[in-house]
Amino acid sequence: MMTNEAEKVIIVEGLTDKKQVKRVIADDVEVICTNGTLGVERFDELLETYDLDNRDVFILVDEDSSGIKLRKQLTRELPHAEHIYVSSEFREVATTPDNILATALVAKRIEVNPIFLI
């Protein structure tokens, strides 16, 4: 069954992360913000709203304590999700240089704007 939804979903922490990812990707990918750690109700809402059990889910969070905590939580709830890591050198998705972010996304078969791969 085909829906209008993108098959791929990238879960990020905040709006600045979302903007950064949206700038780089060329794929039809939905980017969802958690705005920090998730309570059970909020997670269930995301699960249902975005049909996360039936889509290709990618987790891209900051390499800091709150990001690592969120990644652990999402890993438990979404065992099928794939992880995209930014270098701890940049710590945050939002401050990762475009070309580095693009390379990490391409490695997970997510299409990016080729200008970022130079």
Average pLDDT along the chain, 118 residues, taken 10 residues at a time:
72 96 94 86 92 96 93 94 94 95 96 93
The rounded distance, in Å, linking the Cα atoms of 17 and 39 is 20
Instruction: Say what the pTM is.
Output: 0.92
Which two structure tokens, joined as six digits, stand for 88? 């701890």
The rounded distance, in Å, linking the Cα atoms of 23 and 116 is 10
What is the pLDDT at residue 48?
94
Measured CA distances, 31 to 77, 89, 99 (Å) = 18, 23, 19
What is the pLDDT at residue 95?
95
What is the pLDDT at residue 40?
84
What is the pLDDT at residue 93?
96
What is the pLDDT at residue 6?
81
In 3D space, the residue among 29, 16, 54, 4 whose CA is nearest the CA of residue 105 turns out to be: 29
Scan for tokens 């990001």, then name that residue: 67
